[in-house]
Structure 1
């Protein structure tokens, strides 16, 4: 068994707590001991501050970064040398008339730079293994699609 901890702190109290719906900010901090503080907010559609990370951003980021770390590990095991990796993931969500929302799917769109002579098809096959081992991907209840693109490092 593994325990994972976090510490969040609401920072949106303007003086009256949440006594009025419009009277408080939807801001909070991720402030786990020993780690930098990350200012966050609610989704802008729900009154949040657009330049700050929101819970939905953090979920899609967790999914993408878990996938990336497993890709690097499994590629190493397969003898595939990765020189660069960036992702621009997108979470596909829906909201009910009540305001309740959920993710219905996610698409990871990694742009991967392989060392010269590596096989992009073999790298694609690595992606197919990740959902079986990635802690985050195994924990979400929506489909995760992979739309990887490859290029090759110059010698």
Structure 2
């Protein structure tokens, strides 16, 4: 079995001069730094006093689910000689607050996949199932992820 290591620095940048003296005294701003990659300017969700223009952990989790599924799907299409030309996922998720925490309760991926020429739609749909089964992120979370693909042959809009 292969093992892969990941490392980053998450640096809080939201001290407004009072530190964390109170819940409203500090900004939730932070930077996610990974050697050799663009810095991600993060915050919390605006519902938790974060900056709306910055990415938050919930955004990043959903993005990770969507991107992981897409990358596996691209791989499986290539391996099965399906020529995918366009892939756009309208992903969504629900997070429920509970007590002093909360959790994601579901995510829905709605990838629209356009192929060159006629395509075996049953195979194209099955590969979404296979991609979901192989996705590292999907295999790491404890909430359901539904995949509702739309398969489009090149000759159709």
Q: 1:56 is matched with which residue?
A: 58
Aligned equivalent of 2:137: 136
Give the structure 2 partner of residue 127 of structure 1: 128
Rounded Cα–Cα distance in structure 2 between residues aligned with 1:8 and 1:153: 43
Q: 1:2 aligns with which of 1, 4, 21?
A: 4
Query: C-alpha separation between the residues in 1 aligned to 2:103 and 2:20?
Result: 24
Q: CA deviation at 1:142?
A: 0.8
List aligned pairs for 1:70-149, cutoff 5 A.
70-96=72-98, 98-149=99-150
Give TM-score, length-normalised by structure 2. Answer: 0.92
Q: What is the CA deviation profile of residues 108-130 of structure 1, one whole-angstrom value per residue up to 9, with x for unaligned ones? A: 01111111111222110001112
Distance (Å, rounded) in 2 between the aligned partners of 1:24 and 1:61: 27
Shift of 1:51: 1.8
Q: Which residue of the partner structure matches residue 31 of structure 2? A: 29
One of 54, 67, 70 as aligned partner of 2:69: 67
Shift of the alpha carbon at 1:83?
A: 0.2
Total equivalences in the alignment: 154
Contact 2:125 2:151 in 1 (8 A): no
- CA drift at 1:154: 5.1
5+ residue gaps, structure 1, are none
SS at match of 2:139: coil
Q: TM-score, normalised by structure 1?
A: 0.93
Q: Which whole-Å deviations, capped at 9, do the CAs of 1:16-64 have from their partners, x for residues lacking one?
A: 2112221110111111111111111101111111121100000010010
Please state whether the residue corresponding to 1:71 is helix, strand or coil: helix
| Distance in 2 of aligned mates of 1:84 and 1:148 | 13
2:46 matched to which residue of 1? Answer: 44
Work out the CA distance in 2 between the residues paired with 1:51 and 1:150: 33
Coordinate RMSD, CA, aligned: 1.5
